[in-house]
Structure formats: structure tokens, C-alpha cells
Amino acid sequence: DAKTTQPNSMESNEEEPVHLPCNHSTISGTDYIHWYRQLPSQGPEYVIHGLTSNVNNRMASLAIAEDRKSSTLILHRATLRDAAVYYCIPGMIKAAGNKLTFGGGTRVLVKP
């Protein structure tokens, strides 16, 4: 299984962008890159995922390096509600089953 490396924590000011890096140098060519987040006292929630191209949705943008060994989740304007632990997870699309494995994640603190 591909391993990921994320910073333990990051701080941001409200309404400023947040760039969350993830290193996944052992990812295979068929693994999607998923991002989930977990708000305090809640279950994880899906943020975004992609394979090769950069992706945008209403929550965030995902920038994937050309060699796919790293990616960056971008929260364009952080709000207090974005304070959470953010997980970067590779997901295999061809292996039987889906063992999405969460690592330690990055704890994001948003300051007003």
C-alpha cells in the first residue's frame, strides 16, 4: 500500500488560503488521491479526489504534481468551520476491495 507523509499541523488566519501538502512518493499509477477531513466530534467527510489532473469543487482544489508523487489541497478562503484534521489517502482502483487507510493527517487551526 502506498504511504503518505503530511505535516502534523498547520495554522491559518480566517479568510486566507491554506495549502496542505501531501507526499505519496510510492503511489502507483492507478491510485486515486483522496482527501477527507474530520471535524471535532464528527465522522470523516469527503473533500475531493483526483487521479492525474488538478480538480476543483465547491470545497477545495486539488493540485497534483506531474509525477504524482505529491499533491496539495488548497482551501481558498479558510473559515473557522474548516478547522479539522485533513487526511490524504491513496485509493487503489484495480485491487479487489478498497482499503482506504487513514494516516495521521494534518490538524488545521484557523485563527479569527
Smallest distance from other proteins to CB 103, Å: 7
Smallest distance from other proteins to CB 49, Å: 7
Please spell the DSSP secondary structure of 52-106, one letter per residue.
SS-EE-SS-EEEE-TTSSEEEEEESS--GGG-EEEEEEEEESSSSS--------E
Residues that bind other proteins (CB under 8 A): 31-32, 34, 36, 38, 42-46, 49, 87, 90-105
Closest alpha carbon to 88 in 53, 28, 47: 47
- What are 101's three cell numbers? 487507510
Q: Which is nearer to other proteins, 13 or 54 (CB)?
A: 54
Smallest distance from other proteins to CB 79, Å: 20
- What are 61's three cell numbers? 482544489
Q: Which is nearer to other proteins, 95 or 109 (CB)?
A: 95
Q: Which is nearer to other proteins, 80 or 95 (CB)?
A: 95
